[in-house]
Structure 1
Amino acid sequence: MWLFKYLFTNLYRALQTANGRRLLWLFLRYANRPRHQSGVIPFLRYRFDVPDALSFVWQFKEIFADESYQFNTTTPQPLIIDCGANIGTSLAYFRQTYPQARIVAFEADPAIGAVLTRNLQANGITGVEVINKAVWINDDGLDFGTGEADAASMFSEAGRRRVPSVRLRDVLLRETRVDMLKIDIEGAETDVLLDCHDALTNVQNLFIEYHAYIGHPQTLGGIVNLLEQNGFRYYIDSNQARTRPLVNHRYRSNDLMDLQLNIYAHRP
């Protein structure tokens, strides 16, 4: 048994839960589809319009199989702020897991935002305030490049345009308590978090997807220092499993990023 767990750790873990087994089925059914072709994928009790099948399968793994966004709360109506809601997979999980939650979702990419709205409406996921703006350090707008699947960012040159923005610091300061703050904003996270250095007092749980783009400084230290100054305990994980990292400097042969990390922080 221990040898099996060592050799087939991910498979062993997946087989232990219903959503893990569903994940294996999704991989077998959809992961080999041509990239960046839209279609409808049924999962659990939902049917989602999906721009890229493989990206969605990885979302299902992180959100439903691994339950990476689960958090503890003492209130029956927690406030969840989702920055970078993409096509709505995280929102489906939050509404299912915290049915009385107040949920505010931000999505910068206009095309993905339209898919997000359709998915919420088609699946009866209600009570979510969707704001089609980029989370940023001011309200002046942001030069934003569109991208295939989940690759849109301020660093992308494809389809570059000016999109409306909202200063996250102002959003946080209007709230007396934020039970969960999710930040997955494709490279803008360091600037936004540093701008929020004095506005995190009421945030109880925080998820940050950290990105380091080739040709730009790595800023992980600034984020970690910010978390420590604000009294968070944190855990950092990577799904890269990169071998020979002193030789292999690229993130999944990515031409834009050379590092992506998941940072989980909570108040003890």
Structure 2
Amino acid sequence: MGVINETRKAVSDARNFGWRFLSGRWAAKGSRDVIALPVRHYGHVFVRPANTDIETLRDVLAGRSYDFSFPAQLGDRVNSFYHSILSAGRKPVIIDAGANIGAASLWFRRLFPEAHIVAIEPDADNGRVLKENIGGLPNCTILNAAIGSTSGFAAVRDGEGDDSGWAKQTERATSGVPIVTMAEAIATVDDGTALIVKIDIEGFESDLFQANLDWLDDVRVVIIEPHDWMKPGEGTSFSFQRAMAAHSFELFIRGENLIYVRLQPDRKNASSR
């Protein structure tokens, strides 16, 4: 079964990313260095072959885990929000909280080329690869920080039994990486208006949604991966469930992600009658 699965992955990689990606991956298999692989539509993307980075590319870029194209009305609504922000002379802001190596940032940048991406990643090694992928791109800001409800500091640790790049967890501490609030992250962009906030922070969403939630009054789309499965009994999703229920969002589910999309004003008014 292992050979069959690897063959299926190889065929899928070639179809989604191109044959040059596949040959580069094979040549560097098991390498602990950071290498650049050519990815169709995205140019060269930096990964650590011995880490989970290639799985991240498969999930985000090939699996389209942040795709808004279905149902069609969803994509139309998000695009309408994007263009209305631009028409108002503002800058659409996309927050990539838990940015990892920047796969989601690259995906959103291709969809919304005039938006400004703020990628937030607390882990230093992930941040090193993130910088290679988007650090030199226009309209991209990297914050080596955690994101939470109030400022402070966080310690970064591996998930239980896992030292891969996509399972880094944060917890409040007296020192470590700084914690920025959502308002502070959005405010790094002059004339910015929050279009999309993507949150994949391995359970720390329980902290993020505890306080200072004014940003939910303006943001158009919130994408969050809940982690109750990771920390059963801790109720890590309770705070964001309460927060989202208090606002006029519709909920869509795509894979592991919950996608909350604000109702357009006319629909919101109609639903309240």
TM-score after normalising by structure 1:
0.69
Amino acid paired to 1:129: T
Quick check: 1:51 aligned with 2:63? no
CA contact (8 A) 1:80 1:103 kept: yes
Match for residue 270 of structure 2? none
Give 1:205 deviation, angstroms.
0.6
Q: How many residues align?
A: 224
Amino acid paired to 1:100: E
Match for residue 234 of structure 1? 251
Q: Deviations over 1:216-255 (max 9, x none)?
A: 51333442332121111112344xxxxxxxxxxxxxxxxx
| In structure 1, distance between residues paired with 2:248 and 2:192 | 17
Q: Which structure carries more helix by proportion?
A: 2
Consecutive unaligned residues in structure 1, runs of 5 or more: 1-10, 156-160, 239-260
Residue from 43, 63, 83 that aligns with 2:60: 63
1:195 alignment partner, SS class: coil
| In structure 2, distance between residues paired with 1:128 and 1:48 | 15
Give 1:176 deviation, angstroms.
6.7
CA contact (8 A) 1:133 1:163 kept: yes
2:214 alignment partner, SS class: coil
* Counterparts in 2 of 1:29 and 1:141: CA distance versus 1, 3 Å: same
Consecutive unaligned residues in structure 2, runs of 5 or more: 1-7, 69-77, 264-273
Residue from 16, 19, 26 that aligns with 1:22: 16
2:57 alignment partner, SS class: helix
Match for residue 254 of structure 1? none
**1:1-268 correspondence to structure 2 within 5 Å:** 21-22=15-16, 30=25, 33-34=29-30, 38-44=34-40, 45-52=42-49, 55-71=52-68, 72-74=78-80, 75=83, 76=86, 77-121=91-135, 125-146=137-158, 147-154=163-170, 162-172=176-186, 177-212=193-228, 213-214=230-231, 216-238=233-255, 261-268=256-263
Amino acid paired to 2:164: E
Give % identity: 25
* Counterparts in 2 of 1:199 and 1:37: CA distance versus 1, 3 Å: same
Give 1:118 deviation, angstroms.
1.8
Does 109-118 or 219-228 show the bigger shift? 219-228
CA contact (8 A) 2:145 2:179 kept: yes
2:45 alignment partner, SS class: strand
* Counterparts in 2 of 1:215 and 1:180: CA distance versus 1, 3 Å: closer
TM-score after normalising by structure 2:
0.68
CA contact (8 A) 1:177 1:204 kept: no
1:219 alignment partner, SS class: coil
* Counterparts in 2 of 1:209 and 1:221: CA distance versus 1, 3 Å: same
Give 1:29 deviation, angstroms.
7.8
1:211 alignment partner, SS class: coil
Give 1:64 deviation, angstroms.
2.2
CA contact (8 A) 2:94 2:194 kept: yes
Amino acid paired to 1:264: I
| In structure 2, distance between residues paired with 1:236 and 1:193 | 20
* Counterparts in 2 of 1:152 and 1:20: CA distance versus 1, 3 Å: same
* Counterparts in 2 of 1:49 and 1:219: CA distance versus 1, 3 Å: same
Match for residue 3 of structure 1? none
* Counterparts in 2 of 1:195 and 1:27: CA distance versus 1, 3 Å: farther
| In structure 2, distance between residues paired with 1:193 and 1:145 | 21
